[in-house]
Structure 1
């Protein structure tokens, strides 16, 4: 097992002077000399580098410490006693008008807090000296805040909870073996799966509620709700120790759509500030230490060249992001300077806009950087700013942000970016909406070219004949809650308004040929076909593999696993000839993990309707197949199989639809859990 070792004792190091432009002088924000002794440093007035909390930000309380509570915690959603009741209690919500009232209340309160904070700080320092380490956020208010009776702007009030703050102990995780890496990766994977599935579920329920009361004035923030509830249940990870360096289980290139997910995983512990650091009030020697930063272009003086970064410190901006005062060497700025002196590396997460993202922005972890220089300079706006020179530590994997840009170039001009290696630009021959390319730069093997492409599974006509008439919904403009197809699914649709799978089920009924709803109906997600540009590639580890040129969202549909469906009798004959057969009954039931909220609510009951009979059929992919058949096997997959019916009503012959269980970055291999091996041969039923 890997070791968690205490970080270097900073008390054993001499107290240095604050760096100047050359990293070794004594310079203050005003250009004069300043003392280097920590006892003479004032307690930092926290001015975090605020950045937009993804799309549609909501009113929120500012941080009192860089790792304290940021957002308001909604009440727990205890609505799982009855498995059929999946809606939010009406008593647990407040109107949009009331939301606006509380938002305005918080805004006005913050104006009073800001007005009295500086005066309060001066009074406390005059009275108590340097022993003061934090301000009482309510001491400067005209009326004390009643936290017991304060109503949450999202859900019903609840008793105030006391949360354990992040540890002040700095540690490193070292000597990780292969088993350790697998363990931590699975821990991160399961935490992210819970966050994403609960986020999608919470958004779907909120949209259902808002549609019932009228037009919505703001988008539901499922990320804030999911993070709050998970923190309520103690499901945030990597907070018992403050880790310096890489976070176990998080790989370079991992992509995140929400800032709150970074907090849940412990990759970056502050929801809005760009510098995450151990504050001086918690440090053993009274000096702050930076552990991670987010580079997102929030400051006009930032310069990002990939391996080299000129990072602008925090503070000095107004609410519109314009510089209005000089920055100060305190808080995160001082922490960055101290990390430079002690030679402590920082994690770098890049945030930038990405077309097609559900939050309009993405964050990608790019590895570890060293801080080499710190100086005070005049910024483009004419105000003084602190700048930090960072360089990427050598020997790490390729940056995820660089891979994202490279994938974008491949989507536009694949042959210009890769002149050699492509043996086919579309093996589907336009049977899919997007091309499926084949890339092989290892050998001359071209097996994918020898098979007919089958975009959808081919079922026996005599078993799956829908007849000349059937029953469907009457939703002309799209399915609505309570329609015929919704009732077939137990009263709830399987997908939200964005097409994300809400919860995995034994079987999903989508609208079929006898429904009057259009192809854009929310209940026709998987039958629309492939949407992400795929690439079948030759791999030295897995033979053939599949990767996407697009970023795939967790919970989104990927493709169908297609082949020629055989009855049991037909399968026995084909097996005698040695043909490759896939047995759907052997696929692992990973669908049960998506939307499983038992870790949050002990009384959660997973969906059991409808009860499927044993799937007694096989699928021949020896001659006709699609891109899914080249997916490699993994016991920790990033996609799963979900059974779906839409073009017939035979429960024993569903479609095998593949959905993503995590955010899959471009050019990362897509893996599937093929489940149980054959009893006789001991091999997986996999054609790859």
Structure 2
């Protein structure tokens, strides 16, 4: 036992007295401070769901200054510190043929995705002239990087955020991370993304606190521990116990603020209402053997919290059922520490144990996760089950029909189809162009017609959508690339375990048993294509109409080029103006998308996608997750609105139906 006998070591535990609270002298703690940086190029941004000030749509600038409060030390990890983010290449060096384009597709970017305009087969001297000199992309990038960076978050919001700010920070982090993965396939893109945001003050709840965190809700899920750090839920990127130092008289006491139960220790994580948590330290590594845990740092903080009866935030780490190599962190709410003791661990060394109990009255979080796991394994029957699969096998994954609210036995009859139904009167507007790739399409390879049509990039990274675009092109069946090509996502159909369920006041809705990562494909909108010019009065009253020509509340979801130090001459477009309106009715023929309800604060967005079917290319409407969505959370999107005589969203004449989404900034109606 290291350190010799004394109060700061674990006593011999042959006979354990669980009623005794260990009394020790508090340890002082050094608080690492993240570099204070107010540099970087300017940009304009907005929270992803508004509101928007007068005169700006959809973006507006904020003013902010750097906070001096405590920030975590990312150097605790084995990964490089993200405090310094090296500049990224402003464009991908493409593989270009000297011959003409076989598809008539773009040979470079038209919207400024970080590539210089013009021909892609410039001579070396011409390229040098383009990329150097006054007014060049390189000089403009260097010039803009010396200007002040506006984080969009005020000093007060950095200290105490709200729900809107928390969602904005997480959305911006995820957008930057997806872009870095797309550009560089970076092994440490997560920490580089976090460094880009932290060094510019794009974070919130920087003040450590005991109790709940403003804007973070029980049940929220995180795919990276750094996400919890950015919003102030748990400010340790590796350590399982986070704490603050409280001054009392001439001494300082540590108090625990949050713990992460990730399964690395002998934690008992089966009971959703309680947790047996193992202390930190004493683990074996390649340089030393396991040893007794010491009553210091986080262990000491938990002991002090037991004595002071303060609550502790509990985050539970679980394996993602959709990807066994991925861990998800669930914020399970506030717990109180009931008792502590010392016992022998699996290594034979003394280990601190803490029993925590969940405070009553909180929304279920981990309990939902455990219930879904039991349904999936067939250990218990799903309450309110009407049909185990309403698709009758049309989808590769069953979709349950559930009603645990009333006696309704199901929605009105319709024919289930898994994709969009085009009639003979509608001909494709996009010709079929097959690529010539033999394995998988590679980003930057402009010899690939599919890559050219997507402006030099794969639209997806790790199976998630990188950015919203006016159109995304997927490889089709006639493309010789293999079935696992990263450009084939929407056409592969459902992958999530969904259920149609009866809501309290909005009819039938849609949700998922599986957690959904931001940017993940959910489903497409299947139905019958309609001619908008020939819509009848009956069609106008159709509650299952999807219309791309409606007005939609703008929001920012794409990455901000300044955050990845990427030059772009034009803004990446997020508003879609299709050549002709696409109107789809799912009243008689449809799929699960017809059950998605409207919300003024949606968690799902729609994206036009083109892929081949029977030798011809058709437009499809695909739905992707805006943010991380916990299991059994209702999936919603913005239906849009049609203003005939009004002045905009929120007008009394915008939309025909009253909105019941419950959002505090609800516009009141939708079409």
Q: TM-score, normalised by structure 2?
A: 0.71
Q: Deviations over 1:465-486 (max 9, x none)?
A: 489x843211132322321111
Q: 1:538 aligns with which of 488, 502, 513?
A: 502
Q: Deviations over 1:116-175 (max 9, x none)?
A: xxxxxxxxxxxxxxxxxxxxxxxxxxxxxxxxxxxxxxxxxx99xxxxxxxxx9x998xx
Q: Deviations over 1:383-422 (max 9, x none)?
A: 2222222111111111x222122212223439x422x522
Q: 2:386 aligns with which of 423, 427, 451?
A: 423
For the pair 1:75 / 2:91, whether they are aligned, the reply is: no
Match of 1:176 in 2: none
Taking the aligned partners of 1:405 and 1:516, their CA distance within structure 2 comes to 43
Taking the aligned partners of 1:675 and 1:466, their CA distance within structure 2 comes to 25
Match of 1:96 in 2: none
Match of 2:637 in 1: 672
Taking the aligned partners of 2:473 and 2:575, their CA distance within structure 1 comes to 10
Contact 1:172 1:243 in 2 (8 A): no
- CA shift, 1:661, in A, is 1.4
- CA shift, 1:42, in A, is 5.3
Match of 1:290 in 2: 256
Structure 2 vs 1, CA of residues 314 and 617 (structure 1 numbering), >3 Å: closer, same or farther?
closer
Structure 2 vs 1, CA of residues 283 and 435 (structure 1 numbering), >3 Å: closer, same or farther?
farther
Taking the aligned partners of 1:475 and 1:386, their CA distance within structure 2 comes to 57
SS of residue matched to 1:287: strand
SS of residue matched to 1:272: coil
Structure 2 vs 1, CA of residues 562 and 592 (structure 1 numbering), >3 Å: closer, same or farther?
farther
- CA shift, 1:623, in A, is 1.3
Structure 2 vs 1, CA of residues 636 and 282 (structure 1 numbering), >3 Å: closer, same or farther?
farther
Match of 1:562 in 2: 526
Taking the aligned partners of 1:321 and 1:676, their CA distance within structure 2 comes to 64
Match of 2:183 in 1: 205
Q: 1:243 aligns with which of 209, 213, 217?
A: 209
My pick for the range that moved more, 340-349 or 668-677, is 668-677
Taking the aligned partners of 1:42 and 1:534, their CA distance within structure 2 comes to 50
> More relative contact order in 1 or in 2 (CA 8 Å, sep 6+)?
2
Q: Deviations over 1:515-534 (max 9, x none)?
A: 33343322121111111121
Structure 2 vs 1, CA of residues 493 and 641 (structure 1 numbering), >3 Å: closer, same or farther?
same
Unmatched runs of 5 consecutive residues or more in structure 1: 1-15, 28-33, 47-64, 89-157, 160-168, 174-182, 208-218
- CA shift, 1:280, in A, is 6.5
Match of 1:310 in 2: 276
Contact 2:390 2:399 in 1 (8 A): yes
Contact 1:172 1:245 in 2 (8 A): no
RMSD: 4.0
SS of residue matched to 1:375: strand
Q: 1:471 aligns with which of 428, 433, 436?
A: 433
- CA shift, 1:428, in A, is 1.6
SS of residue matched to 2:162: helix
Match of 1:324 in 2: 290
Taking the aligned partners of 2:249 and 2:515, their CA distance within structure 1 comes to 40
- CA shift, 1:45, in A, is 9.5
Q: 2:408 aligns with which of 445, 452, 461?
A: 445
Contact 2:310 2:336 in 1 (8 A): yes
Contact 1:547 1:669 in 2 (8 A): yes
Match of 2:121 in 1: none
Taking the aligned partners of 1:276 and 1:479, their CA distance within structure 2 comes to 44
- CA shift, 1:303, in A, is 6.7
Contact 1:84 1:490 in 2 (8 A): no
Structure 2 vs 1, CA of residues 609 and 536 (structure 1 numbering), >3 Å: closer, same or farther?
closer
Structure 2 vs 1, CA of residues 274 and 320 (structure 1 numbering), >3 Å: closer, same or farther?
farther
Taking the aligned partners of 1:85 and 1:617, their CA distance within structure 2 comes to 26
Contact 1:351 1:361 in 2 (8 A): yes
Matches for 1:188-587 after TM superposition, within 5 Å: 188-207=166-185, 220-239=187-206, 241-279=207-245, 285-300=251-266, 305-319=271-285, 324-357=290-323, 360-398=326-364, 400-413=365-378, 416-418=380-382, 421-448=384-411, 450-465=413-428, 470-480=432-442, 481-482=445-446, 483-496=448-461, 498-572=462-536, 574-575=538-539, 580-586=544-550
Match of 2:655 in 1: 682
SS of residue matched to 1:224: helix
Q: 1:657 aligns with which of 610, 622, 636?
A: 622
Match of 1:607 in 2: 572
Contact 2:10 2:294 in 1 (8 A): no
- CA shift, 1:513, in A, is 4.8
Contact 2:180 2:564 in 1 (8 A): no
Structure 2 vs 1, CA of residues 270 and 87 (structure 1 numbering), >3 Å: closer, same or farther?
farther
Match of 2:153 in 1: none
SS of residue matched to 1:659: strand
Structure 2 vs 1, CA of residues 632 and 670 (structure 1 numbering), >3 Å: closer, same or farther?
same
Structure 2 vs 1, CA of residues 320 and 312 (structure 1 numbering), >3 Å: closer, same or farther?
farther
Taking the aligned partners of 1:284 and 1:17, their CA distance within structure 2 comes to 20
Taking the aligned partners of 1:526 and 1:572, their CA distance within structure 2 comes to 31
Structure 2 vs 1, CA of residues 597 and 24 (structure 1 numbering), >3 Å: closer, same or farther?
farther
Taking the aligned partners of 1:644 and 1:674, their CA distance within structure 2 comes to 18
Unmatched runs of 5 consecutive residues or more in structure 2: 1-6, 32-69, 92-108, 117-144, 147-155, 645-652, 660-669
Match of 2:667 in 1: none
Taking the aligned partners of 2:632 and 2:346, their CA distance within structure 1 comes to 38
Structure 2 vs 1, CA of residues 578 and 288 (structure 1 numbering), >3 Å: closer, same or farther?
closer
SS of residue matched to 1:586: coil
- CA shift, 1:684, in A, is 5.2
- CA shift, 1:608, in A, is 4.0
Q: Deviations over 1:90-118 (max 9, x none)?
A: xxxxxxxxxxxxxxxxxxxxxxxxxxxxx
- CA shift, 1:301, in A, is 6.5
Q: TM-score, normalised by structure 1?
A: 0.70
Contact 2:542 2:585 in 1 (8 A): no
Contact 1:255 1:664 in 2 (8 A): yes
Q: Deviations over 1:610-639 (max 9, x none)?
A: 984454242222211211111111122111
Contact 2:607 2:621 in 1 (8 A): yes
- CA shift, 1:670, in A, is 0.8
Taking the aligned partners of 2:361 and 2:286, their CA distance within structure 1 comes to 39
Contact 2:322 2:514 in 1 (8 A): no
Contact 1:18 1:25 in 2 (8 A): no
Taking the aligned partners of 2:550 and 2:266, their CA distance within structure 1 comes to 55
Q: Deviations over 1:29-68 (max 9, x none)?
A: xxxxx7x6x5xx554699xxxxxxxxxxxxxxxxxx9933
Contact 2:176 2:563 in 1 (8 A): no
- CA shift, 1:501, in A, is 0.8
Taking the aligned partners of 2:548 and 2:617, their CA distance within structure 1 comes to 11
